[in-house]
Amino acid sequence: MPVLAIHRSRKLIPPFALLRPRTPREAAAMQADTAGAAFMAGGIDLVNRLKFGDAVARVIHLGAVEGLDGIDESAAGLTIGAGVTHDRLQTSPVIRARLPALAETWSTVGNIRVRLKGTLGGNLMAREPAYDFALAAMAAGAELRFATADGTERRIAAASLTDAAGRPEPQPGLLTAIALPPADRLRLGFDRSLRPALSVAVGLDVDGARVAGGRVAIGCAFVGPLARALPLDAPLAASALADAAGGIAHRLAAALPEPASDGHASAAYRRRMVEVLLRRELVVLASQLR
């Protein structure tokens, strides 16, 4: 987001055509049809961009699109609609029961207004480095599902939202759902204590008390959210994870591309803190697994 705006105002929001599709395919087709079209769910990012003078001629409002706001659990895992708000995620009995770390962390994301209006899909598709749902999705190893104009569904790994340096990868179509693996095989942990310099999410693939693998997602430190696989040589027991935490964190941090240096923190500090926060989070998760 721009950090200097001499002219920024709601008065600059141009007249736009309002489109209100009823199905995901219709929405995707509208996006494909026209240049200068933007999706709007909660509208937090869109309205902000419009006030900076972004030229958006058509707004595709998703309020009437069916099927975007479910939170469903099956044997295959948890499927969360892209239209689910942060608040519904945080208060959902399913999420609280199955992914308590996610529910608890999500009670402090943004503020209550943002949580009531903003959607997980909007948060993901903004690709803002400071937005944390991408971290949760990447750490969980989530699959993102997109409706396309021709009626098919496209699926990508959450990590594919950005490239290896954190830059956004184009993802046409309408994001409809975020699919998480089964909750009993997933442990999530978050450390947001150093925002706005750094935000870290960890997802472990667990089998009983053994950790088979995992992912780390890093926010606030690169151009966009960045995901990396947890560098485990082999599956390990929870007790071994605690002992190995330091080494794992060091390997991951050392292999990262150069983090950003800006007014919040230097690249060196960010890299160093990735290691500290990741090590700490692995120890916490390991103790929870025993």
Partner 1 sequence: MSTSVEIALTINGTPRRLTVAPNLVLADLLREALGLTGCKIGCDQAVCGACTVLVDGLPTTACTTFAFELDGKSLVTIEGLGDGGTHPVQRAFLDHTAFQCGFCTPGMILSVVALLARHPDPDEATIRQWLSANVCRCTGYQMIIDAVRAAALTGAT
Partner 2 sequence: MDGVDPAVLAAPVVALDGPDKVSGAARYTFDVALPGMLHAKVLRSPHAHARIAAIDVGRAAALPGVACVVTGADAATLPDPRYGVFLRDQPVLPWDKVRYVGDMVAAVAAVDEITAYRALELIDVRYEPLPAVMTIEAALAPGAPLLFDEPAAGNPVPVGANATSVKEPRANVLYEFTYRNGDADAVLAASDRVFEDRFAFSRINHFHLEPHVNLARVTGDQIEIWSCNQDPFVLRNDLARVFGRPGHCVRVHASYVGGGFGGKSYCKMEPLVVLLAMRAGRPVRLALTMDESLLTLTKHAGELILTTGVTADGRLTARKSEIRLDGGAYADASVMTALKTGYRITGPYRWQAVATRACAVRTNCVPAGSFRGFGGTQASFASESQIDMIARRLGLDPYEFRRINLLGPGEPFQPNDSAIDSDLVQGLDEVARRLGYHRRPPAAASTLARGMGLSIGIKDGGGTGNHAQALIKVMPSGRAIVHTATVEIGQGATTALSRIAAVTLGLPLDWVRYGAIDTDHTPLNNGTHVSCATTVTGAAIERAALDVRRQALDFAATQLGCAVEALTLDGWAVRRGNVTHPLEPMIAAHFGGAGFEFIGRGQMKVPFDAKAPLNAVNLFWIPNWVGTEVEVDRETGRVRVVRLVAGADAGRSINPAACRGQIEGATLQAYGQALFEELRYDGPLPANATPLAYRVPLASDLPERYESFTAEHAQGPGPFGAKGIGESGMLGVASAIANAIEDAVGVRLTALPFTPERVLAALDARQTSMMTR
Find which of partner 1, partner 2, none residue 113 binds, CB within 5 to 8 Å per kind. partner 1
Tokens standing for residue 290: 């025993």
Told to check if 193 binds partner 2 by CB under 8 A, we report: yes
107 forms part of the interface with partner 1 (CB under 8 A): yes
Considering the rule CB under 8 A, would residue 130 count as an interface residue with partner 1? no
Residues of this chain, 9-48, that bind partner 1 according to CB under 8 A: 9-10, 13-19, 43-44, 47-48
Q: State yes or no: residue 12 binds partner 2 (CB under 8 A).
A: yes
Kindly state the smallest distance separating residue 58's Cβ from partner 1, in Å. 8
Structure tokens at 20: 């209100």
What's the closest the beta carbon of residue 8 comes to partner 1, in angstroms?
7
Q: How many residues form the binding site for partner 2 (CB under 8 A)?
A: 27
Which one, of 127, 119, 145, 143, lies nearest residue 28 by Cα?
Answer: 145
Kindly report the number of other CB atoms within 10 A of residue 240's CB atom.
14
Q: Does 261 bind partner 1 (CB under 8 A)?
A: no
Token match 């950790």: residue? 211
The phi and psi torsions of 48 (rounded to 5 degrees) equal -60, -45
- The Cβ of residue 18 has, within 10 Å, a number of other Cβ atoms equal to 9
Contact status, residue 31 vs residue 173, Cβ threshold 8 Å: yes
Strands 17-19 and 58-61: parallel
Q: Identify what 269 binds: partner 2, partner 1, none; CB under 5 to 8 Å per kind.
A: partner 2
For residues 270-289, which are near partner 2 according to CB under 8 A? Answer: 273, 276-277
Give the CA angle between residues 183, 186, 192 to the nearest 5°: 110
Binding residues for partner 1 (CB under 8 A): 8-10, 13-19, 43-44, 47-48, 50-51, 58-59, 61, 63, 107-108, 111-114, 116-117
